[in-house]
């Protein structure tokens, strides 16, 4: 392998790197996939969405990867790959907790919001158990005959005469690789630093960090509700089989269940609050979860799963590179930047990058000027999308102290998602022209910016009243009316949405 020259080296074998390699191989490129670690390995970022599933299906069709279809719905995943763990994800659920109080609500669901994304379990989205799914995708890369090297750390990158020369270490042995192009799928942007690219958090309003792990024996939330006599009679699904968000004063806690008894759980802490968290991650976890009696009960019997075996704590999550393409290289969206896990935009955004970059390489005879032009607009689009997601997420953080305000503002995300889904299935979706999540829709970004501005004013008011919140809700309802085909903010179904994703 060491003297072979490649057209494209994909660096990083998360799902994005493997899908990129598989698609490029189908397009006839000579590809190598280089991974620093080895599979199976723990990875966070597990909750997929209807948009992610749509893109997965389209990549499967366009690049003749039929088997990929199976992973786009819970039913087909279970039928064809029961050995690869996943979880059912029927929608997005949000519960507002208050310190020192057991969770409580009322008949009009004053502290709960459930938004179904699918009509039944068969059509459902999934929580990806990344260690198994990513390992499977790498096995498909190898099966396709694509060169794959793991435990390989690139130590230097030089570009001469249109070729990258990479020096890398595999088990203390020096290896060299060369390729025309590098696609950075490292997720964390570590390769970008070697290319001299800077990353910063200065572009973001959202300010959060996370403490997370995989756990066994987390009590199901539905059992907790049943034990405490809280009716779930009109729930559209069992909330344990959804992306469960517990909103807290300090931020929020995610819970994503898998079929193997493991639950991914993570605290996301709001750094825009005065109390910044420092110190030991176990202490932070115990202290925050310990303030909420209902959450404490959920974790009473829980233990860390074997993988990863402990908590991970992050720095501020928000980051964005100042460039995401250059001569002979380009980065995927998660390498380019990240906002926050709230509303699970990560997997879908990453897949939309895979789709757009595969498209960029479809035309093999494209001159470098035209390809650079395409990549320039890709970069602009990804930056714009990160900004768009930031507005949607930051508003939810700001609103979360008042659940009515939160459940109003959160609808802007669902509206943006439904508009994008409808565009995709309308047959008029143009990969080149349409960015991710309606970020370049002619009206929606302005609408969201205005709602965000108004929300900022509301939450900074010292005398936020129920009337002000109701008036904001009415304004949002009116503003989204032209796009609201799924009954968002319908007073007849307070906080319970039976099915919001666009029908496929
Ligand atoms: C705390 C947190 C929670 C999240 N939750 C969600 C969620 O619920 N839903 C959602 O949709 N998204 C979520 N995301 C985002 C999600 O994690 C990403 O979208 C997804 O991981 C991107 O996949 P990827 O394959 O591009 O990168 P990764 O999953 O990061 O994979 C990158 C791969 O590259 C390898 N690598 C790294 N550096 C190098 C190097 N220098 N050389 C070679 N190989 C290298 C790594 O070992 C890894 O295998 C979350 C992110 C975070 C941080």
- Residue 292 sits in a domain whose CATH number is 3.30.9.100
| DSSP per-residue string spanning 422-473 | HHHHTT---TTT--STTTT-SSHHHHHHHHHHHHHHHHH-TT--HHHHHHHH
Specify whether 46 is located in the same domain as 157.
yes
Q: Which pLDDT score, from 0 to 100, does residue 27 have? A: 97
Q: Which of 282, 298, 313 is the last residue of a domain?
A: 313
Question: What is the rounded distance in angstroms from the CA atom of residue 181 to the CA atom of residue 164?
Answer: 7
Q: Which ligand 1 atom is at minimum distance from the Cα of 37?
A: 47
The answer to whether residue 213 sits within a structural domain is yes
Specify whether 81 is located in the same domain as 27.
yes
Q: Which pLDDT score, from 0 to 100, does residue 502 have? A: 65
Specify whether 151 is located in the same domain as 119.
no
**Mutation pick for ligand 1 pocket among 55, 138, 187 (CB with most ligand atoms within 8 Å):** 187
Q: Which ligand 1 atom is at minimum distance from the Cα of 153?
A: 42
Q: Count CA within 13 A, CB hemisphere, residue 301.
A: 7
For β-strands 208-216 and 303-304, DSSP reports them as: antiparallel
Q: Are 354 and 373 in contact (CB under 8 A)?
A: no
Q: For the chain, which ranges sit under pLDDT 70?
A: 1-3, 274-276, 501-504
Q: Identify the CA nearest to 45 among candidates 329, 378, 493, 349.
A: 349
44 lines ligand 1 (CB under 6 A): yes
Specify whether 472 is located in the same domain as 504.
yes
Report how far apart, in Å, the C-alpha atoms of 111 and of each of 254, 406, 474, 500 are: 16, 10, 19, 20
Question: What is the rounded distance in angstroms from the CA atom of residue 255 to the CA atom of residue 265?
Answer: 5
- Please name every residue paired with 262 in a beta bridge, in sequence order, or none if there are none: 216
The answer to whether residue 374 sits within a structural domain is no
Q: Which pLDDT score, from 0 to 100, does residue 231 have? A: 95
Specify whether 234 is located in the same domain as 300.
yes
The answer to whether residue 381 sits within a structural domain is no
341 lines ligand 1 (CB under 6 A): yes
Read off φ and ψ for residue 315, nearest 5 degrees: -80, -170
- Which residue minimizes the CA distance to atom 15 of ligand 1? 346
Q: Which pLDDT score, from 0 to 100, does residue 250 have? A: 96
**Mutation pick for ligand 1 pocket among 14, 93, 131, 264 (CB with most ligand atoms within 8 Å):** 14
Q: Which pLDDT score, from 0 to 100, does residue 26 have? A: 98
> How many angstroms is it from 348 CA to the middle of ligand 1?
12
Report how far Cα 231 is from the mean position of its chain's Cα atoms. 31
350 lines ligand 1 (CB under 6 A): yes
> How many angstroms is it from 454 CA to the middle of ligand 1?
34
Read off φ and ψ for residue 479, nearest 5 degrees: -65, -35
Q: Which pLDDT score, from 0 to 100, does residue 503 have? A: 64
Question: What is the rounded distance in angstroms from the CA atom of residue 129 to the CA atom of residue 108?
Answer: 34
35 lines ligand 1 (CB under 6 A): yes
Domain range enclosing 398:
390-504
Using alpha carbons only, give the angle 313, 316, 319 rounded to the nearest 5 degrees.
125
321 lines ligand 1 (CB under 6 A): no
Residue range 281-318, pLDDT digits in tens: 999 999 999 999 999 999 999 999 999 999 999 999 99
Specify whether 303 is located in the same domain as 335.
no
The answer to whether residue 382 sits within a structural domain is no
Say which residue the tokens 């129920």 belong to.
466
The answer to whether residue 153 sits within a structural domain is yes
> How many angstroms is it from 44 CA to the middle of ligand 1?
7
Specify whether 226 is located in the same domain as 306.
yes
Q: Which pLDDT score, from 0 to 100, does residue 276 have? A: 67
Helix (H) or strand (E) holding 389: helix 368-399
Q: Which ligand 1 atom is at minimum distance from the Cα of 353?
A: 26
Residue 95 DSSP SS3: strand
Specify whether 401 is located in the same domain as 457.
yes
Q: CB 275: neighbour CB atoms within 10 A?
A: 10
Specify whether 187 is located in the same domain as 234.
no
Helix (H) or strand (E) holding 208: strand 208-216
Q: Which of 313, 338, 371 is the last residue of a domain?
A: 313
Question: What is the rounded distance in angstroms from the CA atom of residue 400 to the CA atom of residue 390?
Answer: 15
Total domain count, the chain: 3
> How many angstroms is it from 347 CA to the middle of ligand 1?
9
Q: Which pLDDT score, from 0 to 100, does residue 64 have? A: 98
Q: Identify the CA nearest to 183 among candidates 17, 418, 52, 373.
A: 17
Q: Which ligand 1 atom is at minimum distance from the Cα of 152?
A: 43
Both structure tokens of 321: 């590179």
Question: What is the rounded distance in angstroms from the CA atom of residue 36 to the CA atom of residue 170?
Answer: 9
Specify whether 91 is located in the same domain as 11.
no
Question: What is the rounded distance in angstroms from the CA atom of residue 288 to the CA atom of residue 267?
Answer: 8
Using alpha carbons only, give the angle 96, 98, 100 rounded to the nearest 5 degrees.
145
The answer to whether residue 294 sits within a structural domain is yes
Q: Identify the CA nearest to 408 among candidates 339, 494, 280, 324.
A: 494
Q: Which pLDDT score, from 0 to 100, does residue 190 have? A: 82
């Amino acid at each position: 392998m060491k003297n072979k020259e490649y057209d494209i080296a994909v660096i990083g074998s998360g799902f994005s790197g493997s899908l990129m390699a598989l698609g490029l191989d189908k397009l006839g490129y000579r590809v190598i996939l280089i991974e620093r670690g080895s599979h199976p390995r723990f990875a966070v970022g597990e909750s997929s969405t209807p948009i992610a599933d749509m893109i997965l299906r389209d990549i499967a069709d366009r690049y003749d990867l039929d088997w990929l279809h199976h992973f786009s719905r819970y039913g087909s995943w279970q039928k064809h790959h029961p050995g690869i763990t996943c979880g059912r994800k029927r929608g997005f659920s949000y519960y507002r907790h208050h310190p020192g109080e057991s969770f409580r609500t009322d008949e009009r669901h004053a502290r709960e919001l459930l938004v179904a994304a699918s009509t039944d379990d068969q059509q459902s989205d999934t929580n990806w158990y990344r260690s198994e799914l990513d390992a499977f995708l790498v096995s498909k890369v190898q099966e396709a005959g694509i060169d794959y090297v793991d435990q390989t750390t690139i130590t230097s990158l030089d570009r001469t005469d249109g070729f990258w020369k990479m020096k890398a270490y595999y088990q203390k042995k020096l290896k060299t690789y060369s390729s025309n192009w590098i696609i950075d799928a490292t997720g964390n942007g570590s390769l970008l630093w070697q290319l001299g690219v800077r990353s910063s958090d200065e572009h973001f309003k959202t300010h959060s960090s996370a403490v997370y792990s995989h756990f066994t024996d987390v009590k199901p939330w539905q059992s907790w509700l049943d034990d405490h006599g809280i009716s779930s009679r009109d729930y559209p699904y069992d909330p344990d089989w959804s992306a469960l968000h517990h909103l807290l004063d300090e931020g929020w806690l995610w819970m994503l269940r898998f079929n193997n008894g493991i639950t991914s759980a993570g605290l996301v802490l709001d750094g825009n609050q005065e109390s910044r968290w420092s110190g030991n991650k176990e202490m932070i976890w115990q202290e925050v979860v310990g303030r909420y009696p209902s959450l404490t009960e959920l974790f009473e019997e829980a233990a860390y799963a074997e993988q990863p075996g402990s908590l991970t704590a992050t720095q501020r999550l928000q980051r964005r590179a100042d460039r995401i393409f250059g001569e002979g290289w380009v980065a995927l969206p998660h390498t380019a930047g990240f906002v926050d896990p709230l509303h699970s935009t990560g997997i879908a955004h990453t897949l939309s990058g895979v789709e757009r970059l595969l498209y960029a390489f479809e035309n093999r005879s494209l001159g470098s000027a035209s390809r650079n032009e395409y990549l320039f607009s890709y970069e602009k689009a990804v930056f714009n999308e990160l900004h768009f997601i930031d507005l949607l997420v930051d508003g939810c953080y700001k609103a979360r102290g008042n659940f009515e305000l939160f459940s109003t503002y959160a609808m802007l995300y669902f509206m943006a998602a439904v508009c994008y889904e409808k565009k995709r299935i309308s047959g008029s979706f143009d990969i080149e022209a349409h960015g991710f999540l309606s970020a370049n829709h002619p009206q929606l970004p302005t609408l969201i910016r205005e709602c965000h501005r108004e929300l900022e004013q509301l939450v900074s008011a010292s005398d936020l009243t129920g009337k002000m919140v109701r008036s904001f809700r009415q304004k949002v309802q009116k503003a989204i009316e032209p796009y609201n085909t799924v009954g968002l903010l319908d007073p007849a179904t307070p906080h319970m949405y039976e099915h919001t994703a666009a029908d496929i």
